[in-house]
Structure 1
Amino acid sequence: MPDEDETGDVSSWPTGRLLSVAARVLESRFDDVLARHNLTHAGLIALHHLAGRPRSQRELAMRCRVTDQTMSRTIERLRRNEFVARAHDPADRRRSIVRLTEAGERVLATARREERESELLLGVIDDYEHFRGQLLKLIRHASPDR
C-alpha cells in the first residue's frame, strides 16, 4: 500500500513543507502581478522602505537586508521605470539619496492593493488581516531580530 505522501495527499505533509510550498506558489503568482507593473519583489521592498521619506542608498540596503551593490542594481531599475529619483546628498556628495517619485507612490499603492485583493488569497483566506497577523506573529517568534 502506498504511503499517503506518494498519492499526492498534501494533508500528510509537515507544516514546514506546507508553508514553504504555499510561499513559493504565492510568490510566483505575485511575481506576475509585479511584472505587469515593471516591479520585482526587491523593487517593491525598496519602495516600501522609501514610503515616508527619502533614504541614503546605504540605509535603504540595510533596511532591505541586501548588499550595497544589490541595492544599487535595484535602485537603477526603479529609476529607469521612474519610480524613484536618486541625487547626491548635499552634505556628502559621496552618498546617494533616493526618494519615491509620484509614479513610485502610485505603483506602490497599486501593488499593495492588488496583494490585499488577490483572488488567490481572497478565495482561500477568510480574514486577511487575521491571517497577516498570524504570519507576523510566526515570523517575530521565529526570528526575534525582525
Structure 2
Amino acid sequence: MTVSTTPEADLSTWPTGRLLAVAARLVEQRWVAVLDGMGLTHAGLIALHTLRDGPLPQRTLAQRCQVTDQTMSRTLDRLARAGFVARAADPADGRRQLTRLTERGRAVHEQAVRAEPALLGGLGDDDAFRAGLLALITRLSASD
C-alpha cells in the first residue's frame, strides 16, 4: 500500500478550520523569513508595534503583548542588542525602567509594516478581508 504525501488537490473540500490553520502557517512562514532578514522576530515586531506610541515599562508592555514578564525581558534584550529599543530609568519612578523605540527601531517597524501587503498577496490592504478577520477574532475571543 502506498501512502500519498501530497495534499488533496481540491482545497474547496477542506474544512474551514483546516483552511485557517494552513493559511496561518503559510503567513507565519513568510513573516519569519522576512522578519529574519530585518533582524526581527515576530515577538519583536509585536513589541515594536506596541511601543510606537511612546515608552512603556516592561510589565505594561508584556501585558499589552499578552506575554509573561520573562518572555518580554528576553524579547527586549534581543531588540536592545539590535539597537531597536533603548531602556532608561523612569523619571517618575527611578526603580522602574521605560523602554522606547529608537530611530532604528521605528525604521525597521515601518519597513515591516510596508512588507506586509506583499506577504498576504495584497489581502492586507483589503478592508473587507481585514474586517472579517477582526470579526472572527473578536467572536472567538468573546467565547473564551
Length-normalised TM-score, structure 1: 0.86
Distance in 2, Cα, partners of 1:73 & 1:126:
29
Specify the SS of the correspondent of 2:94: strand
Distance in 1, Cα, partners of 2:128 & 2:7:
32
Deviation per CA, 1:88-134: give whole Å up to 9, x if none.
Answer: 2233233210000001110001100100233x523xx4962221121
Contact 1:85 1:99 in 2 (8 A): yes
Distance in 2, Cα, partners of 1:109 & 1:126:
15
Give the residue type in structure 1 aligned to 2:109. L
Structure 1, gaps ≥5 residues long = 1-5
Distance in 2, Cα, partners of 1:140 & 1:7:
31
The runs of 4+ residues in structure 1 deviating greater than 4 Å are: none
Listed as ranges, the matches of 1:55-94 within 5 Å are: 55-94=56-95
Contact 2:117 2:124 in 1 (8 A): no
Distance in 2, Cα, partners of 1:116 & 1:34:
14
Structure 2, gaps ≥5 residues long = 1-5
Give the residue type in structure 2 aligned to 1:56. P
Listed as ranges, the matches of 1:1-146 within 5 Å are: 8=8, 9-118=10-119, 120-122=120-122, 125=123, 128-144=126-142
Contact 2:54 2:100 in 1 (8 A): yes
Give the residue type in structure 2 aligned to 1:132. R
Contact 2:38 2:108 in 1 (8 A): yes
Distance in 1, Cα, partners of 2:78 & 2:124:
36
Contact 1:57 1:71 in 2 (8 A): yes
Deviation per CA, 1:25-62: give whole Å up to 9, x if none.
Answer: 11001110100000000000000100011000000000
CA RMSD across the alignment:
1.9
Identical aligned residues as a percent:
55
Aligned length: 137
Length-normalised TM-score, structure 2: 0.87
Contact 2:87 2:97 in 1 (8 A): yes
Check 1:102–1:11 CA distance in 2 against 1; reply closer, same or farther (3 A cut).
same
